[in-house]
């Protein structure tokens, strides 16, 4: 049994399935075909719903890259940095496969193994596919996926398909070579280094061709785009339309990470990243096109664990090399069954709450932004001071919609809260009406209330969506009563 994961939930109050008849969430959300839901329901990067329950790991077997991006510096490695392209150790295919088994034994939530660099998965085809072969042999129930810049993609679509890889991510930042030349100084293609618009034109054509070939084979493709203010911010709407037209399943618009200390071209030349508001504006502008992903954590090329909770440091090469590992699929199977039940129970509880809302004749007003402290599992189960991020939901009478996450510093460090950190945390969620936590100390409680953010502890360990809706319903009822009085 997956004993090491159950403690997250064991303090919960029971919230049973209210209406047995509507407990069937097995076929997935109403707006998704059942066969697509089947492919994404356990993949944290392809389903916002899945990311509460399932973990992924990246194995850094692909150090070489065939293009240069202005937001990337290939000389930079750091153990404490959380962003794409960064790793602390590169792995051989054999060691990578061993690491997967070691992680699977420790983390039964692990459902997906991906190769995302630190260079480009398909610029290292021998290492990438050797690794997949070894993993598939040792742990056939773990899903494989990869991400690529797309330059070599058309050459490997058949191989990807032969490995039954259902998920591929392609980073597409532009369609227009005039914009592309501001992002990519060069590419290496057909034994030649190409620069400027020629390079961008080739790259764009190869990306779109690869995308079409993959979707024609039924592979789910996520398109990542880096939002670079003043370069492609006005252009990403077109990118969204173009990738949707070619069958992309998901579009993930991510903010440029640009710090001079990283030594990237953009970092050194003062190109800034977007503000959270600018990012949301572009994401909102693209809503209605290809499905948007808003739960991306821009993780490292050797990340391990649930999104937002990187456990990579626990599985260093030294530790892995010294381990004796074997794969037992049973804990993962048990966890899958557990999640299925959680899913149908929480969906039923949510539906019951939505029904209560629609039965209530009060004026619900506009949607409210709220923050949630969670360790995963779709429940409010994190102490305010221990949260390293808050999940942000937009709550209205129509439902609780996940709209993003905000990273914060731990407020509580060894039992002593630090005032400065607390100010930063509060500033980070200042646009939220409430923050839902498993517990919060007296002092931060006062400061939160003073900042107009209601600290809510009463739904500790309950289902997130249901709790947010219950809070929303009760609060609206209070407002209506006050108005009537």
**Residues 110, 241: Cα–Cα separation, whole Å:** 33
Note whether 195 binds another protein by CB under 8 A. no
Closest to another protein by CB, 20 or 192: 192
CA pair distance 275, 409, nearest whole angstrom: 18
Q: How far is the CB of 102 from another protein (least distance, A)?
A: 23
What six digits make up the tokens of 73?
């510096």
Using DSSP's 3-state secondary structure scheme, residue 62 falls into strand
Query: Which residues face 208 on adjacent strands?
Result: none
Residues 65 and 119 sit within 8 Å (Cβ to Cβ)? yes
Among 1, 6, 33, 64, binds another protein (CB under 8 A): 64
Measure the CA–CA gap between 141 and 122, rounded to whole angstroms: 23
Q: Which residues of 443-453 are buried (b: 16+ CB within 10 A; e: fewer)?
A: ebbebbeeeeb
CB of 191 to another protein, least distance (A): 5
Nearer to another protein by Cβ, of 73 and 467: the residue is 73
Contact between 68 and another protein per CB under 8 A: yes
- The residue range among 18-26, 187-195, 255-263, 279-287 that interacts with another protein, by the rule CB under 8 A, is 187-195
Does 126 interact with another protein (rule: CB under 8 A)?
yes
Q: What would you report as the CA-atom Rg of the chain, rounded to the nearest whole angstrom?
A: 23
How many residues make contact with another protein (CB under 8 A)?
17
Q: Is 192 in the site for another protein (CB under 8 A)?
A: yes
Burial class (CB in 10 A: 0-12, 13-18, 19+), 484: exposed
Binding residue for another protein, selected from 104, 123, 168, 426, defined by CB under 8 A = 123
Q: Kindly state the tokens that stand for 143.
A: 């899903």
Candidates 31, 80, 191, 420; binder of another protein (CB under 8 A) is: 191
Q: How far is the CB of 65 from another protein (least distance, A)?
A: 6
124 binds another protein (CB under 8 A): yes
Does residue 66 bind another protein (CB under 8 A)?
A: yes
Q: Which is nearer to another protein, 2 or 125 (CB)?
A: 125
The two counts, helices (H) then strands (E), for the chain are 14, 18
The CA distance from 419 to 447, in Å, is 10
Q: Out of 9, 36, 74, 268, which residue is the one contacting another protein (CB under 8 A)?
A: 74
Q: Quick one: which segment of 67-75, 207-215, 326-334, 370-378 binds another protein (CB under 8 A)?
A: 67-75
Q: Does 98 bind another protein (CB under 8 A)?
A: no
| Cα gap 355→38, rounded to integer Å | 27
* Contacts with another protein, residue ranges (CB under 8 A): 63-66, 68, 74-75, 77, 90, 119, 123-124, 126, 188, 191-193
């Amino acid at each position: 049994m997956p004993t090491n994961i159950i403690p997250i939930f064991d303090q919960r109050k029971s919230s049973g399935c209210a209406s047995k008849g509507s407990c069937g969430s097995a076929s997935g959300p109403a707006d998704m075909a059942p066969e697509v839901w089947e492919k994404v329901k356990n993949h944290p990067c392809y389903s916002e719903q899945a990311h509460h329950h399932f973990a992924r790991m990246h194995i850094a077997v692909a150090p070489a890259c065939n293009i240069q991006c202005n937001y990337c510096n290939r000389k930079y490695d750091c153990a404490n940095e959380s962003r794409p392209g960064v790793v602390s150790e590169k792995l051989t295919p054999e060691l990578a496969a061993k690491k997967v088994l070691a992680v699977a034994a420790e983390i039964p939530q692990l459902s997906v193994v991906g190769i995302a660099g630190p260079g480009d998965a398909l610029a290292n085809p021998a290492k990438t596919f050797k690794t997949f072969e070894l993993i598939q042999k040792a742990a056939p129930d773990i899903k494989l996926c990869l991400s690529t810049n797309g330059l070599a993609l058309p050459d490997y679509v058949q191989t990807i398909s032969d490995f039954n890889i259902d998920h591929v991510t392609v980073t597409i930042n532009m369609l227009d070579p005039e914009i592309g030349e501001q992002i990519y100084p060069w590419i290496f293609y057909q034994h030649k280094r190409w620069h400027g618009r020629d390079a961008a034109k080739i790259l764009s054509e190869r990306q779109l061709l690869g995308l079409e070939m993959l979707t024609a084979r039924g592979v789910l493709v996520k398109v990542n785009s880096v939002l670079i203010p003043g370069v492609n911010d006005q252009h990403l709407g077109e990118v969204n339309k173009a990738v949707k037209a070619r069958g992309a399943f998901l579009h993930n618009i991510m903010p440029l990470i640009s710090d001079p200390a990283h030594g990237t071209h953009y970092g050194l030349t003062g190109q800034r990243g977007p503000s959270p508001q600018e990012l949301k504006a572009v994401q909102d502008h693209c809503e209605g096109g290809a499905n948007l992903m808003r739960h991306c954590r821009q993780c490292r090329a050797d990340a391990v664990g649930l999104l937002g909770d990187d456990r990579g440091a626990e599985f260093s090469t030294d530790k892995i090399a010294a381990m004796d590992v074997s794969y037992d699929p049973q804990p993962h199977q048990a966890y899958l069954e557990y999640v299925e039940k959680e899913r149908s129970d929480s969906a039923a509880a949510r539906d019951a709450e939505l029904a209560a809302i629609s039965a209530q004749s009060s004026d619900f007003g506009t949607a409210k932004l709220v923050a949630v402290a969670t360790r995963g599992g779709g429940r409010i189960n994190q102490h305010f001071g221990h949260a390293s991020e808050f999940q942000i939901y937009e709550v209205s009478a129509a439902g609780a919609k996940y709209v993003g996450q905000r990273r914060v510093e731990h407020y509580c460090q060894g039992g002593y809260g630090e005032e400065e950190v607390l100010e930063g945390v509060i500033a980070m969620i200042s646009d939220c009406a409430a923050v839902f936590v498993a517990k919060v100390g007296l002092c931060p409680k006062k400061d939160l209330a003073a900042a107009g953010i209601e600290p809510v502890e009463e739904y500790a360990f309950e289902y997130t969506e249901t709790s947010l809706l219950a809070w929303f319903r009760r609060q609206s009822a209070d407002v209506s009563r006050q108005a009537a009085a």
